[in-house]
């Protein structure tokens, strides 16, 4: 069975490795088909594709778009996209446009909570200043020795109800699905088990997503428990969505699952990659 991993992050967003390093690592870890899906960012794709091609790794161009749905942040992965699509490029520019100002507000909240210099501190970890996000702040707080790792930081800061959480309006669901479609790709709901929606809201989101042309849902992801693999396998089957698998790898010290290390998709699902693989 092919080892397919269609979700991970490079330095171009909030991962720790360059696109080249990730491609080599994916190959070493036994991945056969690999996608790079940086947050709201396409700039790593050309390098990732070139290195993947050199080492005989099938590459799928991807992106993970931040959206706001019913007041909460949701992530939509776009797969097999054309990264030269102007609609997608312009759309992502509008999403990223909000990150810098949000970063300033995060830093102000952290300063009030006793964490000084956080904006400059986080920027050191952001290869792209315009991609600045919570993971970069978390790395700075680890550097200060306040907590041992980024997961601990997220438990105490940066999430809803804690200092450093700034409510933010990202793209809409319709925009994200539309941009991905305009770029010839398939839209996938990322890590559905992570959203704090009740059943009615989740079903409504799924319904809108499919009406808009959304194609898939992540079933096996680094953010799900084994029970959730089964739960979202059922959702994929009953809704007719294609199933995806992705580690959501950011770096060895931060991610529970390395590239290619997750279990396979449960049987009887149609993989999102069914007509892409060589
Ligand atoms: P942002 O787009 O700036 O809001 O940052 C979102 C990113 O923060 C996610 O893609 C994860 O990499 C990271 N993140 C969010 N919540 C957590 C958490 N509870 N623990 C660790 N990392 C998290
Ligand atoms: Mn991330
Ligand atoms: Mn995500
Ligand atoms: Mn991700």
Q: Convert the pLDDT of each residue in 128-181 to its tens digit.
A: 999 999 999 999 999 999 999 999 999 999 999 999 999 999 999 999 999 999
Asked whether residue 181 falls in the same domain as residue 71, the answer is yes
Rounded CA gap, 25 and 169, in Å?
A: 34
Mean pLDDT (the chain, rounded): 98
13 in the same domain as 90: yes
Assigned domain for 26 exists: yes
Strand partners, 224: none
User: Same domain, yes or no, for 73 and 208?
Assistant: yes
Work out the average pLDDT over 194-221.
98
pTM of the model: 0.98
Residue 66 lies in a domain: yes
pLDDT value of residue 116: 97
Measured in whole angstroms, the distance separating CA 129 from the mean position of its chain's CA atoms is 18
CATH number, residue 116: 1.10.150.650
How many domains is the chain built from? 2
pLDDT on residue 262: 98
243 Cα–ligand 1 center, Å: 23
d(C-alpha 8, C-alpha 250), whole Å: 6
Q: Whose CA is nearest to atom 19 of ligand 1?
A: 154
pLDDT at residue 273, rounded to an integer: 98
pLDDT for residue 197 is more than 90: yes
State the average pLDDT over residues 5-9.
99
What confidence score (pLDDT) does residue 94 get? 97
In this predicted structure, the answer to whether residue 278 has a pLDDT above a threshold of 90 is no
Verify that 140 and 76 share a domain, yes or no. no
Residue 132 belongs to a domain: yes
Q: What percent of the chain has pLDDT over 90?
A: 100
Q: What is the pLDDT of residues 87-143, one digit of tens each?
A: 999 999 999 999 999 999 999 999 999 999 999 999 999 999 999 999 999 999 999
Q: Are residues 107 and 45 in the same domain?
A: no
Q: What angle do CA 73, 76, 78 make, to 5 degrees?
A: 155
| Phi, psi of 274, deg, nearest 5 | -55, -35
Same domain, 82 and 12: yes
Cα–Cα distance list, 256 to 221, 247, 249, 273 (Å): 10, 9, 8, 24
- CATH number assigned to the domain comprising residue 27: 3.20.20.140
Pocket mutation for ligand 1, best pick of 138, 139, 154 (most atoms within 8 Å of C-beta): 154
133 lines ligand 1 (CB under 6 A): yes
- Measured from the Cα of 136, ligand 1's closest atom is 3
Are 107 and 144 contained in the same domain? yes
Specify whether 15 is located in the same domain as 86: yes
Which ligand lies nearest the alpha carbon of 11?
Answer: 2
Q: Are residues 143 and 42 in the same domain?
A: no
Same domain for 152 and 15, yes or no, is no
Q: Report, as an integer, the average pLDDT of 217-221.
A: 99
pLDDT of residue 187 exceeding 90? yes
User: Which atom belonging to ligand 1 lies closest to the Cα atom of 134?
Assistant: 3
Q: Which domain holds residue 70?
A: 4-96+169-246
| Residue 244 predicted with pLDDT over 90 | yes
Q: Are residues 194 and 77 in the same domain?
A: yes
Residue 258 lies in a domain: no
């Amino acid at each position: 069975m092919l080892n397919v991993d269609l979700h991970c992050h490079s330095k171009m967003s909030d991962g720790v490795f360059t696109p080249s390093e990730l491609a080599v690592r994916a190959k070493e870890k036994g991945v056969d088909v690999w996608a790079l899906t940086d947050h709201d960012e396409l700039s790593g794709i050309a390098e990732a594709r070139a290195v993947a091609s050199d080492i005989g790794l099938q590459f799928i161009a991807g992106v993970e778009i931040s959206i706001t749905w019913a007041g909460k942040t949701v992530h939509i992965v776009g797969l097999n996209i054309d990264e030269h699509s102007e609609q997608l490029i312009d759309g992502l520019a509008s999403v990223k446009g909000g990150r810098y100002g949000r970063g300033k507000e995060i830093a102000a909240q952290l300063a009030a909570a006793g964490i000084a210099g956080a904006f400059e501190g986080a920027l050191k970890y952001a290869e792209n200043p315009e991609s600045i996000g919570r993971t970069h702040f978390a790395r700075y707080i680890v550097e200060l020795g306040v907590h041992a790792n980024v997961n601990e930081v997220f438990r105490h800061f940066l999430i809803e109800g804690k200092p450093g959480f700034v409510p933010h309006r990202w793209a809409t669901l319709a925009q994200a699905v539309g941009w991905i479609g305009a770029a010839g790709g398939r839209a996938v709901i990322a890590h559905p088990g992570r959203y704090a929606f009740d059943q009615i809201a989740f079903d409504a989101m799924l319904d809108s997503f499919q009406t808009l042309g959304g194609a898939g849902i992540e079933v096996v992801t680094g953010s799900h428990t084994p029970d959730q693999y089964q739960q979202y396998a059922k959702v994929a089957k009953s809704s007719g969505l294609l199933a995806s698998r992705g580690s959501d790898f950011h770096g060895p010290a931060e991610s529970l699952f390395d590239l290619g290390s997750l279990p396979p998709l449960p049987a009887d699902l149609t993989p999102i990659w069914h007509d892409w693989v060589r």
